């Protein structure tokens, strides 16, 4: 008989939420551990079907490669498998010898731990997909080998937005969902949250791909505004920009409620999310989120002022006049 309860928050992979375990006693039958660790899963060879490469398992998942995209289907859930790139922005240069600084791309693009951290913080608060690391998936050696061949040496998993139904989402109202996502993306500095990284489930938006979030260069709100404006001019309009360009009294009220919801995030939850995500330099990311929460209202006011429609149109007219 083993009692399990250490008071720490846990992450429920099946229900996709954080929880505090209730003290419980469970009985482990003799030999159960051996039977679990000795279990093996046999594999069938990869099949070609309608231009897709399909790797079938008797007891585990199915790997589907088509049009340059790799999917992993297991237990009724579909995940996009993404190559994991180690973050190498300025804050991490302290860990490297100066000779290795040259040519380092300053980006968090497609970093599994960062996306998982953002996903955990947003669960239950926004219409966002779940992100898991390879270590969360219980992959067989054959699956790891095949995914390494198809994707790269390290990879992670992003749940398909089409797996979700309205009853599994925090919001079934599109404007509510957008308002809460706007506040959250300002918190984590996700400027790439437009239509390209959004799917509609019965008309309600669900967001995915949080790879540009928590960039040290965007922690300063004015640099974040510059990034939002740059993306807008290039046609990759952020949900944040769209929300403020059509600002209404109702949207203002939604945003206030969203801020109140986010500001209820406790330090224990931040520490747990950082720990579960396996990000490098966890103290840095914990401070990033904590600092963002303390300045969230002020940051929203500044960004709203920058992207009210009349202000955007005024900037466009000014730029047009000086370039003529």
Task: Report the half-sphere exposure of 265 (CA within 13 A, side-chain side).
Answer: 26
Q: Which pLDDT belongs to residue 171?
A: 97
Task: Tell me the pLDDT tens digit for each residue of 140-198.
Answer: 999 999 999 999 999 999 999 999 999 999 999 999 999 999 999 999 999 999 999 99
How far is the C-alpha of 147 from the C-alpha of 82, rounded, in Å?
A: 10
Q: Which pLDDT belongs to residue 36?
A: 32
> Which is nearest to 157 in space by CA: 46, 274, 75?
75
Decide if 130 contacts 119 (C-beta within 8 A): yes
Neighbours of 48 (CB within 10 A): 8
Q: Is there a domain that residue 56 lies in?
A: yes
Poorest-pLDDT segment among 2-11, 164-173, 231-240: 2-11
Task: Tell me the pLDDT tens digit for each residue of 244-280.
Answer: 999 999 999 999 999 999 999 999 999 999 999 999 8
Task: Tell me the pLDDT tens digit for each residue of 73-86.
Answer: 999 999 999 998 87
Q: Which pLDDT belongs to residue 88?
A: 52
Q: Rounded mean pLDDT of 16-41? A: 43
Q: Is there a domain that residue 294 lies in?
A: yes
Q: Is there a domain that residue 307 lies in?
A: yes
pLDDT band, very low/low/confident/very high, at 125 (cuts 50, 70, 90)? very high
Q: Is there a domain that residue 96 lies in?
A: yes
Q: Is there a domain that residue 166 lies in?
A: yes
pLDDT band, very low/low/confident/very high, at 5 (cuts 50, 70, 90)? very low
Burial of 228 (0-12, 13-18, 19+ CB in 10 A): buried
**Cβ-based neighbours of 226, under 8 Å, separated by 6 or more:** none
Q: Which pLDDT belongs to residue 217?
A: 85
For residue 86, the enclosing domain spans: 10-25+41-323
pLDDT band, very low/low/confident/very high, at 227 (cuts 50, 70, 90)? very high
Place of tokens 């969230």: 296
Element (H, E) at 100: none
**Alpha-carbon dihedral sign for residues 275, 279, 282, 284:** negative
pLDDT band, very low/low/confident/very high, at 42 (cuts 50, 70, 90)? very low
Pairing of strands 131-133, 10-12: unpaired
Q: What is the DSSP string of 174-206?
A: HHHHHHHHHHHHHHHT----SGGGEEEETTEEE
Q: Which pLDDT belongs to residue 54?
A: 61
Overall domain count for the chain: 1
Q: Which pLDDT belongs to residue 34?
A: 36
How far is the C-alpha of 269 from the C-alpha of 272, rounded, in Å?
A: 5
> Which is nearest to 84 in space by CA: 119, 56, 112?
112
Strand partners, 74: 77
Report the percentage of the chain scoring pLDDT > 70: 72
pLDDT band, very low/low/confident/very high, at 302 (cuts 50, 70, 90)? very high
């Amino acid at each position: 008989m083993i009692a399990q309860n250490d008071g720490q928050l846990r992450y429920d992979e099946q229900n996709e939420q954080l929880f505090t375990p209730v003290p419980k006693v469970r009985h482990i039958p003799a030999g159960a551990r051996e039977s679990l660790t000795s279990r093996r899963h046999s594999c069938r060879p990869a099949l070609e079907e309608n231009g897709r490469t399909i790797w079938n398992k008797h007891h585990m998942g199915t790997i589907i490669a088509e049009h340059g995209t790799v999917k992993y289907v297991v237990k009724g859930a579909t995940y996009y498998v993404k190559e994991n790139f180690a973050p190498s922005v300025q804050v991490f240069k302290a860990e490297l010898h100066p000779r290795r600084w040259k040519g380092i791309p300053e980006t968090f693009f497609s970093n599994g731990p960062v996306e998982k951290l953002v996903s955990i913080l947003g669960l239950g608060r926004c219409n966002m997909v779940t992100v898991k690391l390879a270590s969360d998936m219980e992959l067989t050696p054959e699956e790891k080998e095949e995914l390494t061949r198809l994707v790269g040496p390290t990879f992670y998993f992003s749940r398909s937005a089409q797996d979700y139904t309205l009853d599994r989402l925090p919001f079934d109202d599109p404007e509510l969902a957008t308002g809460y996502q706007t506040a959250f993306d300002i918190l984590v500095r996700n400027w790439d949250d437009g239509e390209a990284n959004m799917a509609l489930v019965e008309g309600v938006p669900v967001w995915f791909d949080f790879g540009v979030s928590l960039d040290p260069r965007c922690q300063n709100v004015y640099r974040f505004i510059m990034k939002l404006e740059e993306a807008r001019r290039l046609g990759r309009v952020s949900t944040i920009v769209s929300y403020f360009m059509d600002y209404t009294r109702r949207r203002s009220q939604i945003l206030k409620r969203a801020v109140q919801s986010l500001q209820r995030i406790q330090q224990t939850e931040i520490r747990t999310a950082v720990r579960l995500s396996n990000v490098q330099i966890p103290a840095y990311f914990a401070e990033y989120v904590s600092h963002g929460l303390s300045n969230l209202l002020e940051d929203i006011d500044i960004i709203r002022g920058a992207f009210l429609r009349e202000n955007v149109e005024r900037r466009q007219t000014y730029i047009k006049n000086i370039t003529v």
